[in-house]
Amino acid sequence: MAAGAGQGETMALAGPHSAKATSANPPQRLTVLGATGSIGASTLDLVARSGSAFEVFAVTAHANVEALAACARSCGAERAVIGDATLYKALKDALSGTSIAAAAGEEALIEAASVPVDCTIAAIVGAAGLKPALAAVRTGRRLGLANKECLVSAGDVFMREVARAGCELIPVDSEHSAAFQVLKDAAPESIERIVLTASGGPFRDWPIERIAIASRADALNHPNWSMGSKISVDSATMMNKGLELIEALHLFPVATHQLGMLVHPQSIVHCLVSFVDGSVLAQMAEPDMRTPIALALSWPQRMAAPTKRLDLAEIAQLTFQAADEVRFPAIRIARAAMERGGTAPAVLNAANEIAVAAFLDGRLRVPDIAVMVEETLGMADREGLLAEAVGLEAIISCDQEARRLCREIVAGRT
């Protein structure tokens, strides 16, 4: 169970979230970090459909000024923040004629995230989202966490801050949202195993020779989910599932050997939890991120989400198979980093971000991504970088050094 999240609460009867704010039931104030992305757009879609139930304080983006200004206007945000400090004037111009305050730069992102609101959705991609998400944690309010890289890089530090601040952390990643729901009120000693499901991505049935020559478009062509480019590539290499194992290790009271994965091509069952009495509980839903986002926005109640309803007769078959670590070596590499612990997951994550960016730029092929990550981990080990994760600053400097190493390795390769 995620620290502080709904523990000891009684599940309210399912029903739509209040579509109308009243004085007894005021609007929930919301900040969306990474509002122009796939998760950000799904969040704002739910908000738009919820009448006056939500009121948006801040929306943020990195460089996409037009999209940020458009979403700030349409959701009536009080503040729009662009991460790239050089884009302040462009944002200000794009917001002219509105009362939306513009801000720019990393400090402005962190400052916006530090303003207490009822719920922050952390949907920046990559370790760039760590400091803003931590700022939101420190407000001691609710955090809907989509940004898995935060927990992969700095899970111990992050969860310590969650506990210290009394933050209500609700996972948004669909598998972790599923586990969160299934594990509600479960005693840690009753949990035997958590199994995350994986669609298998676009290359699930591809032979290794075909994966070796896959294009950028092939990697971005996810069969079940519509997502941002980085996570789509992570799904194609199955590094995504490796990152999710590490995410689960920090969110739930289990050890590494209690975490597993299963390929489930239909993406209907999101997670299976086995208990010591032999019961296995699962959560099912159509693959649409608006379901876990709605849960994060409304827990412990449930708000309406306009997703396709699950029709098992139509689907007819749910299938499961073991993950193939030969065609998808990223799984083995991520698991090894998880077992090593300390700063190894931060190095894994940083190297993966660099390698994925190089792939998206056309400088690497799909199989090179795992090779670059493994070589970076090896070099980091030889340089004594794989150590205890003592604090945030140490993790950030390790992340930066791992990026430098990986860039060198990629440059050597290309």
For ligand NDP, the binding residues (CB under 6 A) are 34-40, 61-64, 67, 83, 123-125, 128, 146-149, 173, 225, 227-231, 289
* Residues 6+ away with beta carbon under 8 Å from 155: 246, 247, 249, 250, 345
Shortest distance in whole angstroms from residue 397 CB to ligand NDP? 18
For ligand NDP, the closer of residues 173 and 374 by Cβ is 173
Cβ proximity to ligand NDP, 67 vs 101, nearer residue: 67
The C-alpha atoms of residue 113 and residue 54 are separated, in whole angstroms, by 17
- Sheet hosting strand 142-145, strand order edge to edge: 101-104, 79-82, 54-61, 28-33, 119-122, 142-145, 168-171
CB of 10 to ligand NDP, least distance (A): 28
Is the Cβ of residue 227 or residue 347 nearer to ligand NDP in the bound state?
A: 227
* Closer residue to ligand NDP in complex, CB, 114/229: 229
What is the bridge-based pairing of β-strands 79-82 and 101-104?
parallel
Do the beta carbons of residue 140 and residue 113 sit within 8 Å?
Answer: no
Three-state SS annotation for 152-184: HHHHHHHHHHHHHHCCEEEECCHHHHHHHHHCC
Contact 122, 150 (CB under 8 A): yes
Phi, psi of 384 (to 5 degrees): 75, 20
CB of 378 to ligand NDP, least distance (A): 25
CB of 133 to ligand NDP, least distance (A): 10
Smaller CB distance to ligand NDP: residue 63 or 187?
A: 63
As measured in angstroms, the least distance from the Cβ of 277 to ligand NDP is 31
Smallest distance, ligand NDP to C-beta of residue 296, A: 11
Q: Which is nearer to ligand NDP, 124 or 337 (CB)?
A: 124
Of residues 230 and 327, the one with the C-beta less far from ligand NDP: 230
Say how far apart CA 81 and CA 71 lie, in whole Å.
Answer: 12
Angle, CA of 157, 160 and 165, to the nearest 5°: 125
Distance CA 320, CA 336 (A): 24
Q: What's the token pair of residue 364?
A: 């690497």
Nearer CB in complex with ligand NDP: 3/152? 152
CB of 228 to ligand NDP, least distance (A): 3
Q: Are 265 and 274 in contact (CB under 8 A)?
A: no
In the bound state with ligand NDP, the residue whose beta carbon lies nearer, of 147 and 199, is 147
Query: Considering the complex, what minimum distance in angstroms separates the CB of residue 127 from ligand NDP?
Result: 9
How many Å apart are CA 34 and CA 201, to the nearest integer? 24
**Taking the complex as a whole, how short is the minimal distance between the CB of residue 131 and ligand NDP, in angstroms?**
9
Q: What is the C-alpha separation between 201 and 220, in angstroms, rounded?
A: 9
Kindly state the smallest distance separating residue 22's Cβ from ligand NDP, in Å.
Answer: 32
Nearer to ligand NDP, 126 or 342 (CB): 126
Q: Which residue has the closest beta carbon to ligand NDP?
A: 37
Neighbours of 15 (CB within 10 A): 11
Q: With contact defined as beta carbons under 8 Å apart, do 176 and 204 qualify?
A: no
Cβ of residue 260: shortest distance to ligand NDP, in angstroms?
19
Residue entry with tokens 């729901």: 181
Contact 170, 143 (CB under 8 A): yes
Strands lying side by side in the sheet with 269-275: 259-263, 191-198, 269-275, 280-284
Q: Give the nearer residue to ligand NDP in terms of CB position, either 128 or 191.
A: 128
